Chain A
Amino acid sequence: MMVAAQTEQQGQGISSARAPLISTSHLFKRYQTPAGFFEALKDIDLAVYHGECVAVVGKSGSGKSTLVNILTGIDSPTSGEVHVASTAVHKLNQEQLAIWRGRNVGVVFQFFQLLPTLTVAENVMLPMDFCKTYPPAERLPRAIALLAKMGIAEQAGKLPADLSGGQQQRAAIARALANDPPILFADEPTGNLDSKTSDEVMEFLADLAKDGKTVVMVTHERDLSRHFTRTISLADGMVAGRAGQPS
């Protein structure tokens, strides 16, 4: 319980009502390719506030996945700063990032990325195991509860391969929530789902924002915009437009 309490405190530390929860300043990302340098992000400044459900949209190659990767610490900026609450993410090394991410950020991938040899419940328990955020005895009940919240509790004992795409993505969201992080990042979470399932998954994510989580999502499906409180459009690595007001 002590570990859980610590996490809660960290969560409270992040959720300041006035300052942006996530902010970037003069963010650049440049890649070396056989054809020369490619600038994936150019001078990105943005702010995301607590409880928002923000969509990052743009065409393929616009830099939206790169942006989310940098926000989650999966990738590092070439220059510029990334602050998530009081943490200067761009200054963390890989080990510090792993610890920070495990406790503060949930990540949902387009291809679900559930570990194939673990059951759905075990996949959800895995972050708790690595970060030791919950005592061992509490991990399975928590995993089942999260899966129940996603509506797939009965699938807990199955392997990911036995689940449909939508069920796998819900399991992936449950895993992202395992350590109760205040922020959820999702990279094209509905990219592999049919429109009905996509809608359901978006509904889940939007509800999480309503429950107090901050959700940042990469998508190219503009017809799902009704689920977002705000949309940031990227084009050629630059912010091309913003829709909606920070909540």
Chain B
Amino acid sequence: MRLSPRWKKLVGDLRIAQGRLMMMVIALAVGIFGVATILSAYTILTREISRNYLGTNPAAAQIQVDRVDDGLVQAVRHQPGIVDAEASSSVTGRIEVNPNEWLPLLLFVVEDFNAIHINKFQPESGAWPPPAGTILLERTSLQLVNGKVGGSRRIQTSSGQKLNVGISGLVHDPGLAPSWQEQTAYGYTTRATLALIGGPSRLSLLKVTLGDDVRDLRAIEQRVAILAQWLKSQGRTVEQIRIPPPRMHPHQTQMTAILVMLLLFSAMALILSATLTATIIGGLLAQQVRQIGVMKAIGARSWQVAGVYSVMVIAMGTAAVVLGVPPGIAAGRGFARTVADLLNFTLYSQAVPTWIYFVQVLAGILVPLLIAQIPIRKAARITVREAISDCGVQRAAVTESRLDRLLAGIRGLDRTLLLALRNTFRRRVRLALTLGLLAAAGAMFLTSLNVKSAWERNLAQASADRRYDLEIQLTAPVVEERLLRIVNAVPGVQNSESWNILPASLDREDGLSIVRTYPDEGHGSFSLRSFPPQSDLVHLTLLDGRWLQPGDINGVLINHNAQAMLRGVKAGATIELRVQGRPLHFQVVGIVREIMSPATAYTSPAAFQRVTDFAGQSNAVRIAAKAHDEKNILGLTRDIGQALEREGISTKVEISESRLSGALSGHVYILIVALIMMSVLMAVVGALGLTSAMGTSVIERTREFGIMRTIGARTPTVMRNIISEGIFIGLMSWCVAIVLSVPLSAGVGRLIGTLAFRSTLPLTLSLFAIVLWLTLIVLGSMAASAVPAWKASKLTIRETLAHL
């Protein structure tokens, strides 16, 4: 088939401007790559996390009762609205990962490993069920406990007894956050083995599932509350009811929100690259103004002219889609695998839905086409007279402006630099586009690194707020003076304070204790704690109200997570909690910001002892060490543990500051990596934008360079003129980028902070990022303008003057 002349012209134009068009394709491909990566990861991850979690048949509720037996389970299954029920138990303890170095252990007790139908987990390797005297470990726990299948580890439960148990196999439990993130080992064992290590012999957890019609939290609460009342009527003691957010993995909301944020970033990258396309097309059209004029003079209509250039954009978009989508999908799968590993779920399928491909194709072609319509329509609408009399620059731009007079007033400024400065402002629309593109890329680059800094600063602040090195929780309360005397006698202890802790829940009229805790007993939990109001071991930022006073008998200080759980309660309000089965009323005296801590209400020791049965006793101690390095803390933990053991005091859990910091930073390093990836994409698009803008500017002024050389300008002068212009543009964009990055960083920081910490990240401007972007932009500007400058300098005067 023979192409008609207008399409042959298009092919010819593509050939002539292939350098710039290739840049356009690369920029678009980069944008499409970003969107394809995140969009495909998003679809894979949101599908697979649900598939994994729902595949466990998660309990709608776990009811802690005094005892659960087969008869009760059978009876519960026949209660209205209950689909299934199962007996289980979980006990907290410790596992020895190195000699005298212990980690928290959550041990799930399973009645029959071959008949698990609620909160299911899958065997990965080794024995199934675990033989007597052994446990199975969740697959992410193995490395944390420094163990191996077939090996053994000492474990200790609340009885205080320590027993060497074998690790007989591994399981995958997709309902739990990975061990290394929570710094807690998860074990699975039989009732017989639990009895061996002194654990309770009977099961106490009743797991229930409800019908598919009962999906929202309120409906689940209502149905389970009815069941709890029935249990009470059967003479059972209902201690606590755990109803986690229905059908949602503990990290699902955070994962989805972060992916949405990354998706927004990548969409921005695509829009930026599409804007770059518009800039390049605009430059190309600026060169072809006379040709457009001629075409219109011989009968072409505006839509015909616009059609030719629109097809050019479609062709470029198609090429970019071909280049960007396959690696984007591959990268998305890789990203999904990394996130799946991070969150401990299995990707059963890495298939990307067909609609993703359609969206990519449409976005890759339509977005640049729509944005490019601005220069295309402008060029196509130009009148023949305007086109034929076009001299390359706007009249307003060559007449002397206030800016020119200002520039001319700068004494001692080299004429070439002055010319470069003036050239920068000659094509103001294009300058605005280029500046916008570079500044947006820079702002997003800076934002990603600012958010990274803010995240680190937040963690550092949280770490600084925790002015202790070690917290030890005991299996049972002991006399406070005795506890502190034992601890303070250990060499290396600087200071210690007794800090009590008890699980709490919001009080209800029906007297039930309902919490949002997941089976890992960490996510969604709520505690009541006491600490000395003049404590030296904590410093929390007060958000509202006042700090706790020693005489606050009814007052509590709550952290911002508790505030969120208490539906935004303010200082001065009264809250009703249930602790140790007792309803308690407190007045909120203040609200503090406490990063990565579960929801907690703090009372004075006096108030705590008044409302609990801890008269003069304490079940937790916080310790500041003389030396804060990890090795020393490890040794101190061991020494205190041994000192307590000698006194017959059993330790429930030891939490060192370094371990806590490790757990916190482990939660989101992938987010930081993803943000840096985005910033690199932005930097690439920005650099391509500047290269293209400089290339277009040089091509337009080729004739002018010829004239300059005719009247004596040397090649280095021409090159300096062009490179200086590039650097001016780069520097201007750098300034704008810094300004833009402030609200952007604040917004993204608010989003991420709220998701991760329920608290806004502090606005942080990373000096490192600002200097890095300045370096990149100056070097990039020099490189981007050096190539067209070098090409321009190589042209002979005859060639430059012949240029149309």
B-binding residues in A (CB < 8 A): 34, 69, 72-75, 94-95, 98-99, 101-103, 107, 109, 113, 115-118, 122-123, 125-127, 129-131, 136, 140, 175-176, 178-179
12 contacts between A and B (CB under 8 A): A34-B395, A99-B299, A101-B297, A109-B294, A113-B293, A115-B294, A117-B13, A127-B298, A129-B5, A130-B301, A130-B304, A136-B2
- Asked whether, in the complex, the Cβ of B299 is within 8 Å of the Cβ of A101, the reply is yes
Cβ of A94 to closest chain B Cβ, rounded Å: 6
Q: From the candidates A101, A102, A125, name the one contacting B5 in the complex (CB within 8 A).
A: A125
Q: Contacts A115-B291, A117-B13 known; A122 to B301 CB distance under 8 Å?
A: no
**Can you list the 9 inter-chain pairs with the closest CB atoms, starting with the nearest?**
A102-B299, A117-B12, A122-B5, A74-B384, A127-B298, A130-B300, A75-B385, A131-B299, A126-B5
- In chain B between 1 and 43, which residues have their CB closer than 8 angstroms to a CB of chain A? 2, 4-6, 8-9, 11-13, 15-16
Q: Contacts A125-B5, A136-B4 known; A175 to B385 CB distance under 8 Å?
A: no
Q: Chain A residues with Cβ under 8 A from B399's Cβ?
A: 34
A-B contact count (CB 8 A): 91
Q: From the candidates B5, B290, B381, B395, name the one contacting A123 in the complex (CB within 8 A).
A: B5
- Asked whether, in the complex, the Cβ of A130 is within 8 Å of the Cβ of B383, the reply is no
A-binding residues in B (CB < 8 A): 2, 4-6, 8-9, 11-13, 15-16, 290-291, 293-302, 304, 381, 383-385, 388, 395, 399, 804
Compute how far the CA of A103 lies from the CA of B299 in the bound complex, rounded to whole angstroms.
Answer: 7
Compute how far the CA of A98 lies from the CA of B382 in the bound complex, rounded to whole angstroms.
Answer: 12
Q: Which residue on chain B has the smallest CB distance to residue A114?
A: B294
Q: Which residue on chain B has the smallest CB distance to residue A66?
A: B385
Compute how far the CA of A34 lies from the CA of B11 in the bound complex, rounded to whole angstroms.
Answer: 41
Q: Chain B residues with Cβ under 8 A from A72's Cβ?
A: 297
Cβ of A21 to closest chain B Cβ, rounded Å: 19
Compute how far the CA of A178 lies from the CA of B297 in the bound complex, rounded to whole angstroms.
Answer: 13
- Asked whether, in the complex, the Cβ of B302 is within 8 Å of the Cβ of A179, the reply is no
- Asked whether, in the complex, the Cβ of B4 is within 8 Å of the Cβ of A129, the reply is yes
Compute how far the CA of A72 lies from the CA of B296 in the bound complex, rounded to whole angstroms.
Answer: 12
- Asked whether, in the complex, the Cβ of A94 is within 8 Å of the Cβ of B5, the reply is no
Q: Contacts A74-B385, A74-B388, A75-B385 known; A94 to B8 CB distance under 8 Å?
A: no
- Asked whether, in the complex, the Cβ of B15 is within 8 Å of the Cβ of A117, the reply is yes
- Asked whether, in the complex, the Cβ of B8 is within 8 Å of the Cβ of A118, the reply is yes
Cβ of A96 to closest chain B Cβ, rounded Å: 9
Q: Chain A residues with Cβ under 8 A from B383's Cβ?
A: 74-75, 94
Q: Which residue on chain A has the smallest CB distance to residue B300?
A: A130
Cβ of A106 to closest chain B Cβ, rounded Å: 8
Compute how far the CA of A94 lies from the CA of B383 in the bound complex, rounded to whole angstroms.
Answer: 7
Compute how far the CA of A129 lies from the CA of B297 in the bound complex, rounded to whole angstroms.
Answer: 14
Q: From the candidates B13, B16, B290, B381, name the one contacting A94 in the complex (CB within 8 A).
A: B381
Compute how far the CA of A223 lies from the CA of B139 in the bound complex, rounded to whole angstroms.
Answer: 99
Q: Chain A residues with Cβ under 8 A from B291's Cβ?
A: 115
Compute how far the CA of A10 lies from the CA of B4 in the bound complex, rounded to whole angstroms.
Answer: 25
Cβ of B319 to closest chain A Cβ, rounded Å: 19
- Asked whether, in the complex, the Cβ of A130 is within 8 Å of the Cβ of B298, the reply is yes
Q: Which residue on chain A has the smallest CB distance to residue B12?
A: A117
- Asked whether, in the complex, the Cβ of A127 is within 8 Å of the Cβ of B9, the reply is no
- Asked whether, in the complex, the Cβ of B15 is within 8 Å of the Cβ of A126, the reply is no
Q: Which residue on chain A has the smallest CB distance to residue B291?
A: A115
Q: Chain B residues with Cβ under 8 A from A103's Cβ?
A: 299
Q: Chain B residues with Cβ under 8 A from A129's Cβ?
A: 4-6
- Asked whether, in the complex, the Cβ of B9 is within 8 Å of the Cβ of A118, the reply is yes
- Asked whether, in the complex, the Cβ of A98 is within 8 Å of the Cβ of B302, the reply is yes
Q: Chain A residues with Cβ under 8 A from B804's Cβ?
A: 116
Cβ of B454 to closest chain A Cβ, rounded Å: 52
- Asked whether, in the complex, the Cβ of B6 is within 8 Å of the Cβ of A130, the reply is yes
- Asked whether, in the complex, the Cβ of B4 is within 8 Å of the Cβ of A117, the reply is no
- Asked whether, in the complex, the Cβ of A98 is within 8 Å of the Cβ of B296, the reply is yes
Q: Which residue on chain A has the smallest CB distance to residue B302?
A: A95
Q: Chain A residues with Cβ under 8 A from B11's Cβ?
A: 117
* Given A115-B291, A118-B12, A127-B298: 20 more A-B contacts, CB < 8 Å: A34-B399, A74-B297, A75-B384, A95-B301, A101-B297, A101-B299, A103-B299, A113-B297, A115-B9, A115-B295, A117-B8, A117-B9, A117-B15, A127-B299, A129-B6, A130-B300, A130-B301, A140-B2, A176-B298, A179-B299
- Asked whether, in the complex, the Cβ of A130 is within 8 Å of the Cβ of B9, the reply is no
Q: Chain A residues with Cβ under 8 A from B301's Cβ?
A: 95, 98-99, 130
Among the interface residues B293, B296, B399, which one has the most CB atoms of the partner chain A within 10 A?
A: B296
Compute how far the CA of A81 lies from the CA of B399 in the bound complex, rounded to whole angstroms.
Answer: 34
Cβ of B189 to closest chain A Cβ, rounded Å: 78
- Asked whether, in the complex, the Cβ of A69 is within 8 Å of the Cβ of B299, the reply is no
Compute how far the CA of A178 lies from the CA of B654 in the bound complex, rounded to whole angstroms.
Answer: 92
Q: Which residue on chain A has the smallest CB distance to residue B384?
A: A74
